[in-house]
Structure 1
Amino acid sequence: MSISKKIARLTSGEKPRVLDLFAGCGGISLGFHSAGFEIVGAVEIDAAAAKSHALNFHPKSFNLHARSRDITAIDPPELLNEFTLTGPVKDQVDVIVGGPPCQAFARVGRAKLREIAEHPDAFLRDPRSNLYLRYLDYVRALQPIALVMENVPDVLNYGGHNIAEEVCEALEDLGYLPKYTILNAVFYGVPEMRERMFLVAYRKELKPCLWHPQPSHWIDLPQGYHGSRQVALQTVKFSELEEHKYFVDPPEPDPSCCLPAITAEEALSDLPVISEDSPLKLMKGPRHFKELAPYRKPPGNAYQRLMREWEGFLSSKGVSDHVIRYLPRDYKIFARMNPGDQYPEAHELAKKMFAERLLEIECIEGEKPQKGSSRYELEWVQYVPPYDPGKFPNKWRKMEADKPARTLMAHLGKDSYSHIHYDSSQARTISVREAARLQSFPDGFVFQGPMNPAFKQIGNAVPPLMAKAVAEVIINELQGSIKHAEKISA
C-alpha cells in the first residue's frame, strides 16, 4: 500500500507533498507552504491565476507550471508526468487540497459519488462534468494520506443537498476519516470576515484526533453572518440524541484568551496614500503593476510587519500593485459617505449633492436647469449613479477603519464598490494590494496583472492565514500519527 512509502518518506524528514486542485492564484498553497509543506504542483484553468501560482511557487520552472490546465481533460498520471514526478502514481502526493465548484451537484447526489468511488471512469461518462466527482477521482488515483476540501457555506444546503455530508460518505468508502465545519477567516488573524466550509480527511490508518484549528482572534460577528450560517446549516440535523458522524460544531473563539480581530486600519494604514492629484484618480487607462509605490511609513503593528516580512515573500521598499479604479463621478460621494454606509445611503447622498449643484448653478446663472432639459440630465448623470437602490442595496459599502473588512468577493474583478476605503480624504475604492492585504496575502506575493484579473484572483482566493491555520493542524496530526501508522503498515 502506498501509505507505507509515504510514511517512510515523511519519517526521513521530507516535507509532505501537496497537490492543489482548483488552485486559483494560490491562497491555500501559500498557507500550506508556510506551515512546512512542499507544493509540488497545481491545477487551475484560469490562465492569469495559473501564472500567478507559478510565479510564486515555481519561478525556476515557470513555463512548466504556468500552463492553465482543465482538470476534466487531464488524468492524474499525465499530470504527475508533466510535473516530472516519476514512479508509481500512488506514491507521489501526500496531501490534496482545493475547492471544486459545485455546479450541477444538486442533481448528482450520493449514488453518483459512490459510483466514482468504485469506478474511476464514471466521471468521464457524466455529461454534466461535475467537478466534485473529478476531485474524488484524483483522491482515488493518488491516495493522499490527508486532504482538504474548501467551499462557501452554501454547499451545506445546495439545492436541498448537503454536499459536504455526501462527499464525506464517499471519502469514507475510500478509506478516510472525514470531518467538516464552518470557519471564519477573521478568527485566524485575517482582517476580513469570511465564512468558509472546510472538510478535512485523513487516512483511517493515521488514527487522527483533530481536524480543524482553534481560533486565535475574536470579534462579535455582525448579525448577517450568524443568519447566513444558520441558513447554510439547515440541512445539518441538530439533535441532542443524534451523534453527528461528519459534522463538527464550528470552533468558537474565547474572548478571554484570543487576540482582538485585525481591523482594516491595522491592515492598511502603512500603505501609500492615493491623493486627489494622483494620476490613478485623474487619468483613465489600463492599470499595470510597473511602478513601485514606497511605503507610507514603517510597519506600525505585527500584522503590517508580517505582510512585509513573510518568509519567502519579503518586501522592503514598497508595492507595485497599489492601483485603483478610475471612478471620477463617485469620488465626491465616497468622501461624504459615513463608515458602514451602503448603496441606499450613497444614492440619497448623491441626490443631495445634485440638489446642491442645482443651487450653485442658480446662484451663478440666475436660474436652475429644469427637470427634463438636456442641461438637467447632463448634471444628473455626473452626480447620481444609475442603479436602483431597492434592487442593489449591497452594491456599495464604505469600510469601517476600526473593524475587519466584510467578505471580498470575486466580482472585485468587475467593480470594487463593495470595499470603499475608510479614509475619506482618499475618497476611493481599495487598491489591488489593499485587497490582497485584507485577504492576508503578503506584499511579496506577485499577482499576474493587469488590475481586473488580479482583483478576481484575490476575491476568489482562500485567505493564506486561514489556510495556514488548517495546515498547521494537519502537519501536527501527521507528525503525531507517523509512529502509529508506521507500526500498522510495517
Structure 2
Amino acid sequence: MKKMNFIDLFAGAGGLSEGFVKAGFEPIAHVEMDAHACKTLETRNYYYSLKKANKLQVYYDYLLGNISHKDLSESVLNRLDNVINASIGDDNTSIFNRIDELTKGREVDLIIGGPPCQAYSVVGRHRINKLEADDPRNLLYRQYARFLKKYNPKVFVFENVLGILSAEEGRYFNNIKVYFRTLGYELESRVLNTSDYGVLQNRKRVIIIGWKKGSDFSYPELIAESNPYTVADILEDLAYLKPGDQNNITNYASDTNEYLEKSAIRNGADFVTQHVARTHNDRDLEIYKIAIDKWLNNRERLKYGDLPERLKTHKNQNSFVDRFKVVDINSYSHTVLAHIAKDGHYYIYPSTEQVRSLSVREAARIQSFPDDYYFEGGRSAAFKQIGNAVPPLMALKIAEEIKGSL
C-alpha cells in the first residue's frame, strides 16, 4: 500500500510529527521558523534514516559526541532535506515552491500543525489585558488555510490551547470554523487531555480535525485509556543530579520499568542524553526546600505571600502567587510550558534529596519524548522546544485513529 504522507506546519521540535511518523505516515515537509527547532527536526530525520538502514550506531556516536552534526548528515545516504526554516506569513511563495519540489507531483494526504498559541492563551491575554485585534498571531489560522487551499489534503489536524475557544468571547474560534468550511472542509473540535493517552501530564488542548466535504470520514473515536502510572515511573531510573550538573551523557541509574517500556521512552540506547540541570542561587534553593516540604508532607502548595520576607523579591504578591510549584511525583505532572526555558520555579523536582528544578530529559519524558530524541541548541532552547511541543504519545493515538479511518 502507498504510504500516506503529511505536511507539518508550525512544526516546532516535531512532537506532532513524531506521532504521525510512528503511526506509519511519511513527512513531505516540516515548516518552522525557529532555527534550533529546525536543527532538531533534521537530527530526528537522520535518526529515522539511519534506523531504516540498520546504522543506528552512527546516530549514537553523534549523541555521544564522537562525530559532528556535519558528519552525521553526511552519513545518511539519499538524505532528504525536507525541513524548511521559514516564517509562515503573507508571502509563502518560497515555502510553496520548496514543498512543490518535495511532493514531486504526489497528492498530499494530511496537513498537521498548531499555530503559535501565545495570543490565545489565558496568560498571554492577561499580560496585554485584551486580545489585540492587530496581533498577527490571531490570523495565523488564515495562513494555515492557505496551505489547505493549495494542497487540498484529505484531512487536517489543527492543535491549539483552550484559550482559542474563549478568545474575544469565541469570535476567533467561530471565524476559524467558518473559514475552513468555505474551503470545502467539514470539521469538529474536541478538548483532549494528554493524560488520557499515555502521557503522564495533565495538559488539555483543543484538537480540530477537518475532512473534505462529501467523504465518509468523521472525527475518530479517541477513547480515553486507563493510565495507572505516575511521574515516579519517569524519574526512578535517571541519575542523581545537583543544581548545575552539565553531564550531557549519563548512564541509567536502574533498570527500565513497565511504563518506560510501554511508552517506548527507553527504546534502545544504554545511555541517556541531556539529563542536565540548571544552576540555582541560594535563595531559590531555600524556597525550593520550603515548597518541597509543604508538598511532600502536607500536599500544600507554597503561596508566595507565605514566604519569609527575606526570601521575597517581588512586590506584587497577588498575581502568580503559585510561581513556585513542585511536580507531583505520585500522580501526573502539571502542564509543561515554554516558560520552563526562563526559569525552573514552576517545575521543582519532587525530592528533598535533589533540590533543583527538572532536567531537560525529565521535562522531555513528561512530554513523552523518547530518550533518543535530541533537542538542538543548548539547554534553554531545548526547554523552549519541549514546552511548546505536542506530546508524541497523544499525537500517535490521533495518527493511528486517523490512519484507521482513512
Fold in common (TM above 0.5): yes
* Deviation at residue 427 of structure 1 after TM alignment: 0.7
SS at match of 1:18: strand
Alignment correspondent of 2:388: 460
- 1:100 is the counterpart of 2:87: no
Partner letter of residue 78 of structure 1?
Answer: N
**Residues 409 and 460 in structure 1, CA contact (< 8 A), matched pair in contact too:** yes
* Deviation at residue 139 of structure 1 after TM alignment: 0.1
**Residues 167 and 173 in structure 2, CA contact (< 8 A), matched pair in contact too:** no
**Residues 51 and 67 in structure 1, CA contact (< 8 A), matched pair in contact too:** no
Q: 1:204 aligns with which of 209, 213, 216?
A: 213
C-alpha distance in 1 between matches for 2:244 and 2:357: 15
SS at match of 1:92: coil
* Deviation at residue 272 of structure 1 after TM alignment: 1.1
**Residues 324 and 431 in structure 1, CA contact (< 8 A), matched pair in contact too:** yes
* Deviation at residue 332 of structure 1 after TM alignment: 3.3
After the TM superposition, which residues 106-145 of structure 1 pair with which residues of structure 2 at under 5 Å, given as runs? 128=136, 130-145=139-154
C-alpha distance in 2 between matches for 1:160 and 1:269: 44
C-alpha distance in 1 between matches for 2:371 and 2:117: 31
**Residues 33 and 39 in structure 1, CA contact (< 8 A), matched pair in contact too:** yes
Alignment correspondent of 1:470: 398
C-alpha distance in 1 between matches for 2:277 and 2:313: 19
Q: 1:71 aligns with which of 84, 88, 102?
A: 88
**Residues 272 and 293 in structure 1, CA contact (< 8 A), matched pair in contact too:** yes
- 1:80 is the counterpart of 2:47: no
Cα distance change on mapping 1:166 and 1:186 into 2, 3 Å: same
TM-score after normalising by structure 1: 0.67
| Structure 2 residue ranges without an equivalent (≥5) | 47-72, 121-133
TM-score after normalising by structure 2: 0.80
C-alpha distance in 2 between matches for 1:428 and 1:419: 9
- 1:299 is the counterpart of 2:240: no
Alignment correspondent of 1:332: 286
Larger radius of gyration: 1
After the TM superposition, which residues 149-160 of structure 1 pair with which residues of structure 2 at under 5 Å, given as runs? 149-160=158-169
Alignment correspondent of 1:185: 194
SS at match of 2:275: coil
Alignment correspondent of 2:203: 194
SS at match of 1:159: helix
**Residues 336 and 424 in structure 1, CA contact (< 8 A), matched pair in contact too:** no
**Residues 181 and 197 in structure 1, CA contact (< 8 A), matched pair in contact too:** yes
After the TM superposition, which residues 185-334 of structure 1 pair with which residues of structure 2 at under 5 Å, given as runs? 185-216=194-225, 258-260=226-228, 262-275=229-242, 280=245, 291-303=248-260, 306-309=263-266, 314-329=267-282, 330-334=284-288
* Deviation at residue 267 of structure 1 after TM alignment: 1.9
- State percent identity of aligned pairs: 31
Cα distance change on mapping 1:127 and 1:199 into 2, 3 Å: closer
After the TM superposition, which residues 371-390 of structure 1 pair with which residues of structure 2 at under 5 Å, given as runs? 380=310, 383-386=311-314, 388-390=316-318
Cα distance change on mapping 1:391 and 1:269 into 2, 3 Å: same
| Structure 1 residue ranges without an equivalent (≥5) | 1-12, 106-125, 217-257, 281-286, 352-379, 479-490
Alignment correspondent of 1:248: none
Q: 2:306 aligns with which of 339, 348, 364?
A: 348
C-alpha distance in 1 between matches for 2:325 and 2:112: 33
Q: 2:14 aligns with which of 26, 29, 45?
A: 26
Deviations 1:131-150 (A, max 9, x none): 11110010000000010000
* Deviation at residue 389 of structure 1 after TM alignment: 3.4
Size of the alignment, in residue pairs? 355
- 1:405 is the counterpart of 2:393: no
SS at match of 1:183: strand
**Residues 180 and 198 in structure 1, CA contact (< 8 A), matched pair in contact too:** yes
Let me know the Cα RMSD of the aligned residues: 2.6
C-alpha distance in 1 between matches for 2:315 and 2:396: 40
Partner letter of residue 344 of structure 1?
Answer: K
**Residues 265 and 369 in structure 2, CA contact (< 8 A), matched pair in contact too:** no
Deviations 1:217-274 (A, max 9, x none): xxxxxxxxxxxxxxxxxxxxxxxxxxxxxxxxxxxxxxxxx343x3111222211111
C-alpha distance in 1 between matches for 2:234 and 2:135: 45
**Residues 101 and 132 in structure 1, CA contact (< 8 A), matched pair in contact too:** no
Partner letter of residue 371 of structure 2?
Answer: D
C-alpha distance in 1 between matches for 2:344 and 2:371: 20
Cα distance change on mapping 1:127 and 1:430 into 2, 3 Å: closer
Alignment correspondent of 1:445: 373
C-alpha distance in 1 between matches for 2:366 and 2:108: 31
